[in-house]
Amino acid sequence: MKSSNEESANDQVGERSYWRWSKQDFFPEESFRNWGTYRSALSLMCFRLKDRIKGRSDDVTELQELRKQSENDMKRCLNWWDLIWVGLGGHIGAGIFVLTGQEAHEHAGPAIVLSYVVAGASAMLSVFCYTEFAVEIPVAGGSFAYLRVELGDFVAFIAAGNILLESVVGTAAVARAWTSYFSNLLNRPSNSLRIHTSLRNGYNLLDPIAVAVLVITATIAMISTKQASRINWVASAINTVAILFIIIAGFVHANPSNLTPFMPYGAKGVFQAAAVVYFGYTGFDSISNMAEETKNPSKDIPIGLLGSMSIITVTYCLMALVLSMLQKYNELDENAAFSVAFQSVGMRWAKYLVDLGALKGMTTVLLIGALGQARYTTHIARAHMIPPWFALVHPKTGTPINATLLITISSALIAFFSSLDILASLLSVSTLFIFTMMAVAVLVRRYYVRDKTPQQNLSKLGAFLLIIVASSIGTSAYWGLSPNGWIGYCVTIPLWFLGTLGIYKFLPQQRTPKAWGVPFVPWLPSLSIATNMFLMGSSGSAAFLRFVICTIVMLVYYLLFGLHATYDMAHLPQQPEAKLQQVDNEDDGKSNSQEAHVSFP
């Protein structure tokens, strides 16, 4: 056995213990040295905001410099086979097993299969965009790192906030669904294992089981990435057997008459459901987050991302079709649709296999979520958007334990109180926003290189991107206001086409991908922007309201803390060690006198 001294040495980071809690670990930046420096930093908020909006990172900084903030490297232990199973394990959970019944019952009817086709096509476009970045910038930060390089610190922060929101809310949603299926496995009502209270509706069913499941999966993720991958592989393999049973047995007992009427809520219901079930496709970003632990990113990541997403899209569509044929859409159970559907055709015993498969699927989603989300958080902390204490990698496990704890505790608190429908609607809007930004970032990366692209071409690119985004928003808005109209599309769709054609015809590509790139640029990224915007517009107003409120909260945090921490990080290497008094030369010298008021003893 190891001695206590050997165990203690395993927890050392250089000469310091991993388990440390000093102010220097949370707020090491000069702006937070004392109250005086913090007040001075706040007085320069406008100048610093302008600086950060213009600020850009680069590939080298993300790949090398920021990784030093973690003090230990993550272990490169994954190959393409691991990544495919990470993708499968990170997807097939609450999205298909819970949201399918909920959205078929409420919005799409049997046309829920079309909702999965639409959502899957949109997700695949985003997968192409993610893959190019993950191959070229294989770091744990995923979309946050990519957006920092191409669109700047401020846009990256908005994405980071939504990434953390997506991570916390998505994990909480799956944990809540886990409890529902576990209750059904025990032949009890969906809410029977939750604690009923007198709180507001939607927040009045407390869920301690969801909290326990989150703690267990997070613990496995913190111990070892490779071990977690192996557990996921085994669990996903077992889950695959359950899914094959659902599809085969479902078609055997299918009643095609249940598909009539096919679109009881019309096309609007199909797209509204697609915006929600998109949640089921969001696990693929966990693969890009694992890039830093992948042995051969240029080979393994494209195979892992595109391979797993192709399998998942086909699986989802088949499962949705089976469910629609087993039982009438208006009779589907919204919490455990597949189990109840098999009972309705006389296969009462099958519910146990379905429930076990669903539970295994949701468990692997939580496990992969704990892995990927912690890596996101780690890189965000490396950039000092949040306290750098969360960037530390444990020297023994090679995993970001602090970041994992942040996501797990936050998710557990939300899962304990909030219902699944509230969580899923908010999650979809947040995710679609991030994926839209990723598509924009691909176009910027291909057509703009600092100190190389002429200013005239940069202006053209900005104008064409504005046309693409504005026309996509216009199409989405017109759909929401007049679903049966067509005149508006005669304006918005040609504008989108002309904006994309303008980039294709009048702007030369400034960068060629080194190993793997998005095909059909600019058409494919532009189509990704349009489809994501359209699905965002198909979400309910309540989801947008929650999204806006969360974004406002993020901006308040950024202006009070994140802005000043990242400003110090960006400018410290360019300043004398004792103080920061100079400002960016681009400010025409006007702000030099203002910045001189900031004194860092």
The string of DSSP codes covering 202-225 is TS-EE-HHHHHHHHHHHHHHHH-H
Q: What is the pLDDT of residue 598?
A: 35
Check if the beta carbon of residue 386 is closer than 8 Å to that of residue 377.
yes
Q: Check residues 572 and 485 and name the one with the higher pLDDT.
A: 485
* 254-272 burial: b if 16+ Cβ within 10 Å, else e: beeebbeeeeebeebbbbb
Q: What is the pLDDT of residue 112?
A: 94
Q: Check residues 386 and 99 and name the one with the higher pLDDT.
A: 386
Strand partners of residue 206: 195
Q: Check residues 26 and 162 and name the one with the higher pLDDT.
A: 26
Mean pLDDT of 426-441: 83
Q: What is the pLDDT of residue 211?
A: 92
DSSP code, position 69: G
- Phi/psi of residue 300, each to 5°? -70, -40
Q: Given a cut of 60, is residue 6 above it in pLDDT?
A: no
Q: pLDDT (tens digit, 9 = 90+) per residue, 530-566?
A: 998 988 877 667 667 777 888 888 899 999 999 999 9
Low-confidence winner among 40-44, 415-419, 570-574 (lowest mean pLDDT): 570-574
Question: At CA 36, angle to CA 32 and CA 41, rounded to 5?
Answer: 60
Mean pLDDT of 44-73: 82
- Phi/psi of residue 327, each to 5°? -150, 145
Mean pLDDT of 572-578: 44
Q: Given a cut of 60, is residue 344 above it in pLDDT?
A: yes
Q: How confident is the model at residue 400 (pLDDT cuts 50, 70, 90)?
A: confident
As a whole number of angstroms, the distance between CA 23 and CA 32 comes to: 9
Q: What is the pLDDT of residue 421?
A: 60
Peptide bond into 302 cis (omega under 30): no
C-alpha 336, offset from chain centre: 25
Q: Given a cut of 80, is residue 184 above it in pLDDT?
A: no
Strand partners of residue 195: 206
Q: How confident is the model at residue 590 (pLDDT cuts 50, 70, 90)?
A: very low
As a whole number of angstroms, the distance between CA 568 and CA 437 comes to: 26
Alpha helices in 448-561 (DSSP H): 455-481, 489-506, 523-537, 541-557
Check if the beta carbon of residue 308 is closer than 8 Å to that of residue 316.
no
Q: What is the pLDDT of residue 597?
A: 36
- Phi/psi of residue 2, each to 5°? -75, 145
pLDDT above 90 as % of the chain: 25
What are the DSSP calls for 158-189, one per residue? HHHHHHHHHHHHHHHHHHHHHHHHHHHHTT--
Question: 246 to each of 104, 146, 242, 254, 325, how far by Cα in Å?
Answer: 17, 39, 6, 11, 12
Mean pLDDT of 156-178: 81
Q: Given a cut of 70, is residue 9 above it in pLDDT?
A: no
Q: Check residues 280 and 90 and name the one with the higher pLDDT.
A: 280
Q: Check residues 26 and 595 and name the one with the higher pLDDT.
A: 26
Q: How many CB atoms lie within 10 A of CB 285?
A: 27
Burial class (CB in 10 A: 0-12, 13-18, 19+), 480: middle
Low-confidence winner among 62-76, 463-477, 505-519 (lowest mean pLDDT): 62-76
Q: pLDDT (tens digit, 9 = 90+) per residue, 185-231?
A: 888 877 788 888 877 776 778 889 999 999 999 998 888 777 777 78
Nearest in space to 152 (alpha carbons), one of 51, 46, 27, 270: 51
Q: What is the pLDDT of residue 179?
A: 86
Look-up of token digits 């304990």: 416
Mean pLDDT of 106-125: 92
Q: What is the pLDDT of residue 579?
A: 36
Q: What is the pLDDT of residue 202?
A: 66
Peptide bond into 400 cis (omega under 30): no
Q: What is the pLDDT of residue 212?
A: 94
Q: What is the pLDDT of residue 213?
A: 92
Q: pLDDT (tens digit, 9 = 90+) per residue, 503-523?
A: 999 999 998 888 788 999 999
Q: What is the pLDDT of residue 467?
A: 96
Q: How confident is the model at residue 426 (pLDDT cuts 50, 70, 90)?
A: low
Q: Given a cut of 60, is residue 65 above it in pLDDT?
A: yes
Q: Given a cut of 80, is residue 424 above it in pLDDT?
A: no
Q: What is the pLDDT of residue 7?
A: 43
Q: What is the pLDDT of residue 540?
A: 65
- Phi/psi of residue 569, each to 5°? -65, -40
Whether the model pTM is above 0.85: no
Q: Check residues 254 and 592 and name the one with the higher pLDDT.
A: 254
Q: Check residues 344 and 483 and name the one with the higher pLDDT.
A: 344
Check if the beta carbon of residue 370 is closer than 8 Å to that of residue 408.
yes
Q: Check residues 121 and 227 and name the one with the higher pLDDT.
A: 121
Mean pLDDT of 265-272: 88
Q: Given a cut of 60, is residue 594 above it in pLDDT?
A: no
Q: Given a cut of 60, is residue 580 above it in pLDDT?
A: no
